[in-house]
Amino acid sequence: MNKTDPTHEKNVTDVTGLRSVELWQRGALTTVRTDWIAEEVPVALVYNGISHVVMMASPRDLEVFALGFSLSEGIIESPADIYGIDVVKACNGMEVQIELSSRRFMGLKERRRSLAGRTGCGVCGVEQLNDVGRPVSPLPFTQTFDLSVLDAALGQMRQYQPIGELTGCTHVALWLNEQGIIMDGKEDIGRHVALDKMLGARAQQNWHSGVALVSSRASYEMVQKSAQCGVEILFAVSAATTLAVEVAQRCNLTLVGFSRPGRATVYTHPQRLV
């Protein structure tokens, strides 16, 4: 059999979350081709020595993932509630060891749940159905955004998906300032994890003004995570679910779906948009 080299191997060997594989394609089953696939590993978040959740994720930006998850799940109120984060290899995946303040750890133990996360995990492992759609304080109306500056950010999304560009299987979450300039973007195989990573990076940089843009659909959990972190405006490239719209309406979040160049569907609270 003939063997070909990957045409895009240059400058990607240092990208965490990629692995090269040999494959065959229809029409050329006698030719071995080397290509890239995205890594998917179990990531355990361990708070003060107690494992809380295991998610399937890309093995990169795990510190900001831990911070964003802790914020979006209401485990902490601010980054100051975390005293330290260590990422270590464990078993066949990664372990993120998080040192919480005593007060927040006591609160976590009171509402502790065990999750067995899969890519795009939703309610799996929640012990009580009441935990789904937990109350989020209504957001204030302090942000506005001009829809005319959205198109430029949409055109730049792929620049923040180096793994996705090579593999076609990741999501990205971006933070845009009021002028529509992308401040940061985080990528992952799971849309919820990508959002948590971005929310963690946002908290690290102490960015408040701006909007979130995600490459996926808007599920209720995406809305709830955003609102929990004080995000007032959420743009999604794909559609929103009924529960996402209900949660967004209830917590005063402006939810926009089908965000494409020259197009946007506003589901809730359009008064923030120009």
Question: Which residues are the active-site residues?
Answer: 121
Q: Outline where DSSP puts E strands in 105-190.
A: 115-116, 171-176, 182-188
Nearest Cα neighbor of 193 from 54, 20, 37, 47 is: 54
Q: Outline where DSSP puts E strands in 91-193.
A: 93-100, 115-116, 171-176, 182-188
Nearest Cα neighbor of 221 from 107, 126, 89 is: 126
- From CA 213, how far away is CA 29, in angstroms rounded? 40
Q: Are 62 and 96 in contact (CB under 8 A)?
A: yes
Q: What is the largest CA-CA distance in the chain?
A: 63
At 195 the three-state DSSP class reads helix
Residue 162 in tokens: 């180096």
Q: In whole angstroms, how far apart are CA 49 and each of 128, 178, 201?
A: 24, 40, 24
Q: Which long-range contacts (CB under 8 A, 24 or more apart) does 229-232 make?
A: 229/68, 229/71, 229/72, 229/199, 229/202, 229/203, 230/139, 231/199, 232/139, 232/140, 232/141, 232/142, 232/143, 232/272
